[in-house]
Amino acid sequence: MSTPASPVGASPTAETTSERTGAQTVWETLMRLGVDVVFGYPGGAIMPTHDALVQYPVRHIRVRHEQGAAHMADGYARASGRVGVAMATSGPGATNLVTGIANAMLDSIPIVCITGQVASPLVGSDAFQEVDITGVTLPITKHNFLVRRVEDIMPTLRKAFYIAGSGRPGPVVVDITKDAQFAKAPFQWSDAPVRLPGYRPDHRPQSPDFARAAKLIEEAERPIIFCGHGVIRANASRQLLEFVEKTDAPVASTLLGLGGFPASHPRALGMMGMHGESWVNSAIQQADLIIALGMRFDDRVTGNLATYARGAKKIHVELDPAEVNKNVPVDLPIIGNVRDILEALTPQLEKRIRKEWNASIDAMRSEADVRDILHIPDAGRLHPAHVIHDLWQITKGQALVVSDVGQHQMWEAQYYKHEYPRKLLTSGGLGTMGFGLPAGLGAKVACPDDEVWVIVGDGGIQMTQAEFQTAKQENLKVNVAIINNGFLGMVRQWQEFFFDRRYVATPISSPDFVKIAEAHGLHGQRVTRREEIAEAVARAREAECTSVIDFRVEAEDSVYPMVPAGANLDEMIRRPPTGGQSQ
Amino acid sequence: METKRRTFIVYVEDRPGVLNRVASLFRRRGYNIISLNVGRTHEVGVSRLTMVVEADDNTARIMEANLYKLVNVLSVEDITGTPAITIDLALIKARVTPEQRAEAIDLAERFRARVTDVGAETMMFEITGTQEKIMEFAGELKPYQVVEMVQTGTVSMTRGGEGYASQVARNHKPDATAA
């Protein structure tokens, strides 16, 4: 940390009307907006702002690649519910943020990215390290700003934070020219509400909608509730619990909704969609009412739209009107915040018991249970599902888990049972390999008392493993479980199922991850057999630094069930009764 | 669902890059713009777009919702089916010899087009009206050989009531800060 014990010069408590440089204004404003950590990387056009940091007690975590900064800000935001901040220089610094920005956009994560820009007289001249980053990020930000005048820095940052965090959240880029960072202007902090005449993040639902919803729920015999990311974003888990107690309806989760409803609850069904549990997808196809809460009927959730949940009326509770009727036509949209709507709706409902419906789902569940790989002896093999299951048991389901993208991500979603919101962070919409490690570090910064596990494949970790050194330098302790099968496993699985096993470009070699960990000054172990898991996990937890376990798992395990892209939701490829190992 | 021509009136903050945001939204969502006209209004800081698009009912509603999500968009109104004045303005230059002038002027009068310039070998006409009327006029000029043509794009204003810009300006004074 580059934080002096006592900040010299200006501080938020000091005289608020004296002159500040633009660079000082950035920090003055960030501090007043409650920011105490920024993930960044210095460079020419942002140098004045980094230089001014010596005066302010804001923690700056210097990453190894700007993509890491954006993912860390994202992980920080997901874990804390606050706005995460990333900072980079112009040109390549800014373009390196782009994947992380798109990732935050697709998953509605509030981050603010502050980038330096070349001095305003040079803007548009193809100057050294000049990139039109507001142009580049236009379609992948909720909004963005180019700031050329020192006077505009404070009001713009206030707008950026407000836009990022309100309504349906998302990333905002603030690009500040170098001369604006150097220039001086009187600094007068304003608490006045941000004025954005065209921005209306809040929607008040109409009360007749509640009566209609209550009637639909009343009339339904086989209702099913969808718990989406919106439940977590709105902190509506308690309200959802009350709603379920009242309606006795089962709850299916989207990938990003996992943890929004406790997995141990008898009405919790688990994940829906392409790799959803078989009983969940079947229940959706059999339901006569879907109550979708804060989700967007993504193609990975619905399968073939023409046959999707045809027998079900649909109530769609959603903050963003542009998501209503986008993919699936609904009978009753209710636009607004999930928590507000459940608070208004639940009292209007009669308590119901739905014995038959729930019993029929439970029956499908026990039928599927027999095929579960957990009930198949490992016979000396190390199955990824077993690794994740054991990790769940050892950590008592209490860890904050950050997964990367691919097969391990789906096994995590199936076998690590999450009880609480904000304890599973994963890249859902964009599916960004390389997200796991940096997002895990960002989550650790947000929740230093949490036990953080990064679950990542051998492909994903090689995309952003430079951030191991950030963990070392910043003294961040996370545990990293590499599910190492020597393949880009999810693509390999598709090749197996849909491309006649032509394994083109999917076999991938890896460095010795134990040595990699040690070379970074971190703790490294290797596990090749199931009986070694418990001890290795115990040692990892004991280590004071970030700890890496290289799990050498079965090379060709597949994720089951699987709904092929575009197939009917209940036409799943199921695990063969033998357990489904290929060789 | 059946697609049809729709007209949106969109009020936006008059600042750099806003048109780009609107155009980028339509491009990335694959919406088809038939005509787009942009200009300032009588209210400082408020610009007005007339957009003619081809869309079915549901797509039109989602377009509107997506336009609202742009932070700089002040209001969106789908005026398809609302009584409105909808016109285009075109300038058309044709090769007209001095001997043909009288005949060409007669033609222009039939379409209520104005002759805005007369050169040694050309005449320029200004015509306002619907797309259909303009294209018909251009067709009639064909025998003379049209050498240049430009259209402004459709502009629309609903009949009666209060201009929307005035309401917008009253309700949401755009702030003066740049960015």
- pLDDT tens digits, residue range B98-122? 999 999 999 999 999 999 999 999 9
Mean per-residue pLDDT of chain A: 94
The CATH topology of domain B85-155 is: Alpha-Beta Plaits (3.30.70)
pTM metric for this prediction = 0.93
The CATH topology of domain A19-186 is: Rossmann fold (3.40.50)
Mean pLDDT of A387-396: 97
Residue A506: the pLDDT is 98
Mean pLDDT of A568-578: 85
Determine the Cα angle at A205 with ends A201 and A206, to 5°.
Answer: 145
Query: pLDDT band for position B45 (50/70/90)?
Result: very high
Q: What is residue A527's three-state secondary structure?
A: strand
Shortest CA gap B86–chain A (Å): 26
| pLDDT exceeds 90 at position A17 | no
Is CATH 3.90.209.20 correct for A207-365?
A: no
| pLDDT exceeds 80 at position A11 | no
Residue A443: the pLDDT is 98
Residue A10: the pLDDT is 43
Residue A578: the pLDDT is 59
CB < 8 Å from B in window 307-366 of A: 320-322, 324-326, 329
State in words which class domain A372-552 has: alpha beta
Residue A9: the pLDDT is 43
Query: pLDDT band for position A207 (50/70/90)?
Result: confident
| pLDDT exceeds 70 at position A347 | yes
Shortest CA gap B93–chain A (Å): 37
C-alpha to C-alpha distance for A154 and A174, rounded to whole angstroms = 11
Determine the Cα angle at B151 with ends B148 and B156, to 5°.
Answer: 170
ipTM (interface predicted TM): 0.88
Residue A132: the pLDDT is 98
Asked if A139's CB is within 8 angstroms of B172's CB, the reply is no
Q: Torsions phi, psi of B67, nearest 5? A: -60, -40
On the 0-12 / 13-18 / 19+ scale of CB atoms within 10 A, B44 is exposed
Asked if B71's CB is within 8 angstroms of A199's CB, the reply is yes
| pLDDT exceeds 80 at position A12 | no
Residue intervals of chain B classified under CATH 3.30.70.1150 are: 85-155
Residue B163: the pLDDT is 65
| pLDDT exceeds 80 at position A3 | no
What is the count of residue pairs from A and B with beta carbons less than 8 Å apart? 61
Q: Specify the amino acid at residue B64.
A: E
Asked if A138's CB is within 8 angstroms of B70's CB, the reply is no
Query: pLDDT band for position A192 (50/70/90)?
Result: very high
Tokens of A167: 């309504």
Q: Which residues of A touch B171 (CB under 8 A)?
A: 197
Residues of A belonging to the active site: 66, 128-129, 178, 490
State in words which class domain B4-82+160-171 has: alpha beta
Least-confidence region, from A147-161, A566-580, B8-22: A566-580
CA-nearest of B53, B41, B23, B47 to B153 is B53
Neighbours of A330 (CB within 10 A): 19
Residue intervals of chain B classified under CATH 3.30.70.260 are: 4-82+160-171
Mean pLDDT of B2-27: 93
Query: pLDDT band for position A575 (50/70/90)?
Result: confident
pLDDT in tens, A491-545: 999 999 999 999 999 999 999 999 999 999 999 999 999 999 999 999 999 999 9
Mean pLDDT of A306-318: 96
Answer left, alpha or beta for residue A309, where phi above 0 means left and psi between -120 and 50 means alpha. left
Residue A374: the pLDDT is 86
Residue A245: the pLDDT is 97
Tokens of B160: 């009666």
B71 touches chain A (CB under 8 A): yes
Residue A283: the pLDDT is 97
| pLDDT exceeds 90 at position A8 | no
Residue A583: the pLDDT is 36
Least-confidence region, from A8-12, A99-103, B158-162: A8-12
Query: pLDDT band for position B178 (50/70/90)?
Result: very low
B12 touches chain A (CB under 8 A): yes
Q: Are residues A406 and A379 in contact, defined by beta-carbon separation less than 8 angstroms?
A: no
Interface test with B, best of A106, A115, A143 (most B CBs within 10 A): A143
pLDDT in tens, A69-107: 999 999 999 999 999 999 999 999 999 999 999 999 999
Q: Which residues of A touch B173 (CB under 8 A)?
A: 197
**Judging by DSSP bridges, how do beta strands B155-158 and B84-95 pair with one another?**
antiparallel
| pLDDT exceeds 50 at position A409 | yes
**Judging by DSSP bridges, how do beta strands B73-78 and A59-62 pair with one another?**
unpaired
Shortest CA gap B2–chain A (Å): 16
Please identify which residue in the block is written with the tokens 């803007």: A123
On the 0-12 / 13-18 / 19+ scale of CB atoms within 10 A, A417 is middle
**Comparison of pLDDT for A532 and A206, the residue scoring more:** A532
* Angle subtended by helix axes B18-29 and B57-69, to nearest 10: 140
Tell me: cis bond preceding A561? Omega within 30 of 0 counts.
yes
Tokens of B117: 């310039």
Q: Which residues of A touch B72 (CB under 8 A)?
A: 198
**Judging by DSSP bridges, how do beta strands B32-40 and B46-55 pair with one another?**
antiparallel
Residue A6: the pLDDT is 39
State percent of chain A over pLDDT 90.
90
Residue B179: the pLDDT is 41
| pLDDT exceeds 80 at position B162 | no
pLDDT in tens, A443-461: 999 999 999 999 999 999 9
Q: Within 13 Å, how many C-alpha atoms sit on residue B49's CB side?
A: 26
Residue A375: the pLDDT is 84
Query: pLDDT band for position A4 (50/70/90)?
Result: very low
Residue B173: the pLDDT is 54
Residue A250: the pLDDT is 98
| pLDDT exceeds 50 at position A2 | no
Q: Which residues of A touch B28 (CB under 8 A)?
A: 139
Rounded to 10 degrees, the C-alpha dihedral A16/A20/A22/A26 comes to: -40
Neighbours of A495 (CB within 10 A): 18
Mean pLDDT of A121-140: 97
Cα-based distances in Å from A445 to A33, A319, A423, A438: 18, 29, 14, 11
Query: pLDDT band for position A5 (50/70/90)?
Result: very low
DSSP category for residue A263? T
Least-confidence region, from A150-154, A159-163, B96-100, B157-161: B157-161
Domain boundaries, given as residue ranges, for chain A: 19-186, 207-365, 372-552
**Comparison of pLDDT for A357 and A366, the residue scoring more:** A357
Asked if A200's CB is within 8 angstroms of B28's CB, the reply is no
Residue A204: the pLDDT is 81
> Do the domains at A207-365 and A372-552 have one common CATH topology?
yes
Asked if A134's CB is within 8 angstroms of B177's CB, the reply is no
Which of A138, A152, A199 lies nearest to residue B24, judging by beta carbons? A138
Mean pLDDT of A185-209: 89
Query: pLDDT band for position B74 (50/70/90)?
Result: very high
**Comparison of pLDDT for A228 and B163, the residue scoring more:** A228
| pLDDT exceeds 80 at position B127 | yes
